[in-house]
Chain A
C-alpha cells in the first residue's frame, strides 16, 4: 500500500460507510450478532475449561499405603508416584491428619475415637492430581503395580463423563464458530457489494485511468474492516455488561464464573481479529467481479 494513497483510501472508505448509512448499520448489526454468539461460545468454553479444571482437582485419586512401610519408604513411594506420566502433583495425607480431620467432622461423637490415638486405624495416603483426566485408568494401572499400596479410590466414572462433556462442548463451539465466521463474511460481503454497486462507475473510470486492482480494492477492504471493528467494539461492550450482571446473579457453588478481568483479553482479541478478517474477506469477495474490466 502506497503511503501517498493511504489518506485517500481512508477518506473513500469512511465516505462510503457514511453514504450507505442504512446498509452500514445493518452490516454492523449482523456482525455484532455473529460476534455475540461467538462471544457466548468463547466465554462458555473458557468457563467450562475452568470448571473442568476445578473438577479435575476435586477428582483426585487417593492411594492408601500399607502400615508395614517405614516413613522413609512412604516418602520414596511418593517420589515414585510423582514420576508417573500424567501425575501433576501429589499431596501427602498422613493417618494422623486423617484422624484429626475425622475428630473434627464427628464433632460431639468424636469420643468414639478416644483411646485410638496410639492405635490409629487409618492408613497413610497420597492424594494425586492428574494433568489429564483421560489418563485416570492408565495411572491407576500403574499405581496397582507399585509395592506398598493397599487401596486406591478414584472417581473414574465421573472423570470420564466430565471429559466427554467438555470435549463435546469444545467441538460444538469450534464448528459453530467456523460456521458463524462464514455467515458473517457473507453478510459483510453483501453489504460491501452494495457499496461496490453504487461506485461501479467510479471503479470503471479508475480501471481506464490505470488504477491497480489493489488501489480499487483498498477502500472497500477498509470499509469492511470499519464495519467489523464497529461490530466488535459494540459487541464487546454489550458482552461486558451482560457478563457482569450474570456473574453477579449466579450463586451456584462450584459454578462460579471467571472474573471478567481474566476473560476480556481473549474476548477482545477474538472480536477484533474476527471482525477485521470477516470485514476484509467479505469485501475482497464482493469486489472481485468488478475488477475484470
Chain B
C-alpha cells in the first residue's frame, strides 16, 4: 500500500513543486499518473523511487516512511520496486539475458535461481528467442520488454513506469501496456506516468491527474482528460 498524506515538496531554490498531495494506492491497483510537463509528475515518481523525500507531509510505501529511511536501507527498500523508464536504460554491452541477470546479481541471487527464473521471465515478456541479442539489435518495443523483464525479475510488489511508451509507436505502445496489465493481474501494483491519451482512455484504469503540483482529479476508470 502507498499512502501520500499532505505531501508537499519545495526545492532549496524556493519553488514549490508539490502541494498538499493526498492519495492511497492499494496493493494490486493499476494507476495512471497524468498531467502536463512540469505539473509535478516527475517529482512524484522520484518519491516512489526514494530519489527525493517530501518537505511536508508523509509518503509511506510498504509500511516505510521514505523520509526516515536510512541511506544504507535504501537499496533494500528499492528491491521491492521495479522501475521502467522511457529511455529503457539497458546496458548496451550486455545481452538481453545478461541485462536481466544483472538485476538478479545485484540482489545476490544464486546461479541456479538465475538459470531457472530468467527463461521464465523472458518467456513472459515474449523475448525467449532474443536472449542472446544485444540492445542495439532490438526494436524499441523489444528494448522496453527487456526493461520490464529486468524490473520484475526480483518479484517487486510495486512497478513504477515513467513514460514507458514515450519512445514507441502506438501499436507497440499498446502491446507494452498490455504486458504491464498482465503483470498487474498477477498482483503487482503498477503505477504508470504517461502522456498517452489513447491508452489511458482505452484501459479504463484509475487516473490521478496533477496540475501545478496539486491533485486535481482522482477517478476510478478515469480518462486522460487533456488534449494531446
Contacts and interface: CB of A to CB of B under 8 A. Distances in A.
Contacts of A255: none
A208 interface: yes
Interface in A1-30: 2, 4-5, 8
Contacts of B75: 207, 210-213, 215
Nearest to B153: A209
Contacts of A206: 106
Contact of A4 (B77, B81, B102, B110): B110
B27 interface: no
Which DSSP category, helix, strand, loop or mixed, fits chain A's interface?
helix
B154 interface: yes
Contacts of B77: 210
Given A4-B108, A207-B78, A209-B78, A293 B51 contact: yes
Instruction: Report, as a range, how many residues of chain A touch the other chain.
Output: 10 to 19
A213 B71 CA distance: 10
A289 interface: no
Interface in A193-221: 201-202, 204-213, 215
Contacts of B105: 5, 8
Contacts of A213: 72, 75
A4 B113 CA distance: 12
Interface string B149-182: 0100010000000000000000000000000000
A206 B154 CA distance: 13
A210 B78 contact: yes
A205 B89 contact: yes
Nearest to B104: A209
Nearest to A215: B106
Interface string B71-98: 0100111110101000001010000000
Contacts of A208: 49, 78, 83, 89
Interface residues of B, number: 22
A16 to B, nearest CB: 11
Contact of A205 (B76, B79, B91, B108): B91
A293 B51 CA distance: 6
A69 to B, nearest CB: 78
Interface string B41-84: 00000000101000000000000000000001001111101010
A96 to B, nearest CB: 81
B50 to A, nearest CB: 10
A211 B76 CA distance: 8
A211 B103 CA distance: 9
Nearest to B99: A205
Contacts of A212: 72, 75
A208 B110 CA distance: 20
B133 interface: no
A2 B106 contact: no
Contacts of A5: 105, 108
Return the 5 tightest CB-CB contacts between A and B, nearest first.
A210-B79, A210-B78, A211-B106, A212-B75, A210-B75
Given A5-B108, A210-B154, 15 more contacts: A2-B108, A201-B89, A201-B91, A204-B89, A205-B102, A207-B75, A209-B78, A209-B79, A209-B83, A209-B103, A209-B154, A210-B76, A210-B81, A211-B75, A211-B106
Interface of B: 49, 51, 72, 75-79, 81, 83, 89, 91, 102-103, 105-110, 150, 154
